[in-house]
Structure 1
Amino acid sequence: MTEQVSPLATFYKPGWENYQQAIVKTIAALSHEQLALPVTTHYRSMRELLEHMISARVNWFSGWMGEENAPLVGWGDESYVTEAAELVVMFEETWRVISSALDRWTPADLEQLIPPSAAHQAWLRNQGLEEESAHTRQWIVWHVMEHEIHHGGELSLALGTYGVDSFYTW
């Protein structure tokens, strides 16, 4: 008996893929100087915001859910990128991981509880924070999507503030 195709692949993936393409097109056109501009006063730069978005993809899909991709190994180990082309590559690499997972996961996979790693729990304790509970794959996917929507809005607003065309998904 063949498993049912993931509802994520049929419902969420087309919209997220469109968002991915729009943001990559926008990033590719940004100069080194534009990437250095702050999103707002006393806030991270556009480059740092994009790196943060990439880090969330890596953390949740590779760190939590074990989706492997060699180019992601070591991401965030103080080896952040500086140019738009490098950011584009990382968005594309992380999208390949996400897209592959969304195509492959079944409804049963989406309900699987994913516990945080012992290293993550130790880090939380070291920060004086409560340990994190396990999450379903479905929760993690939504969490990453909402994170991208939130920070994509920040990026769009910052670009508009500086008179740079923002990304559109329609």
Structure 2
Amino acid sequence: MTEQVYPLATFYKPGWENYQHAMVKTIASLSSEQLARSVAPHGVSIGELLARMIGTRVNWFFAWMGEENAAMAAIDRWASSDESAMPAVAELVTMFEETWHVISRALDRWTPADLEQLIAPPASQQAWRRNHGQEEEPSHTRQWIVWHVMEQEIHHGGELSLALGAYGVDSFYTW
């Protein structure tokens, strides 16, 4: 009897996709003034939280694992720029949707065996870390990377929910 192999989509995708749709719906309802607000004077703005989430997706799925399309390359150039201005709401929505398409396709394609693949850090990241006196990043399994991106989204999503709630904006709900 052969073992049935299920793609990662059966495990990760339904919940993450629901989270994605809820986030996009919430982001689309925001104004540019709301993007500029933060929950505390020393905190990052709502827009910066969203940019961090996008940057995390691009860094790990594009730069580390090589999942790409033209949109990911363009978002990577934006996220890597020191002078990147905060995108408008519509652009943030597009970035969330484009990065989700890449993630979704990867989850549909990968099998549980693919999770074991060890991914080496990009050479450019290692050079940056060395130039800034930091230790080099170790290689990570694909499973570690997928979970890391999810935990970042959950973490920053909580910050986003708190910030939105502080201003009386209904946050995203996934149920």
TM-score by length of 2: 0.92
**Structure 1, unaligned runs of 5 or more:** none
CA distance in 1, matches of 2:72, 2:86: 13
Select between 83-92 and 66-75 the one with higher mean Cα deviation: 66-75
Partner SS, residue 63 of structure 2: helix
State the aligned residue count: 169
CA contact (8 A) 1:55 1:75 kept: no
**What CA deviation, in whole Å up to 9, does each residue of 1:114-133 have, x standing for no partner?**
00011111111111111111
Does residue 75 of the first structure (1) align with residue 52 of the second (2)? no
CA distance in 2, matches of 1:66, 1:2: 29
Does residue 136 of the first structure (1) align with residue 141 of the second (2)? yes
Root mean square deviation, CA, Å: 1.6
**What CA deviation, in whole Å up to 9, does each residue of 1:122-170 have, x standing for no partner?**
1111111111111011110000000000000000000000111111000
TM-score by length of 1: 0.94
**What CA deviation, in whole Å up to 9, does each residue of 1:59-114 have, x standing for no partner?**
00000000011012123124444211110000000000000000001122111000
Q: Deviation above 4 Å: which 4+ runs of structure 1?
A: none
CA distance in 2, matches of 1:163, 1:84: 18
**Structure 2, unaligned runs of 5 or more:** none
Indicate how the Cα distance of structure 1 residues 43 and 25 shifts in structure 2: closer, same or farther if over 3 A, else same: same
For residue 100 of structure 2, what is the aligned residue in structure 1? 95
Select between 27-36 and 76-85 the one with higher mean Cα deviation: 76-85
Partner SS, residue 12 of structure 2: helix
For residue 50 of structure 1, what is the aligned residue in structure 2? 50
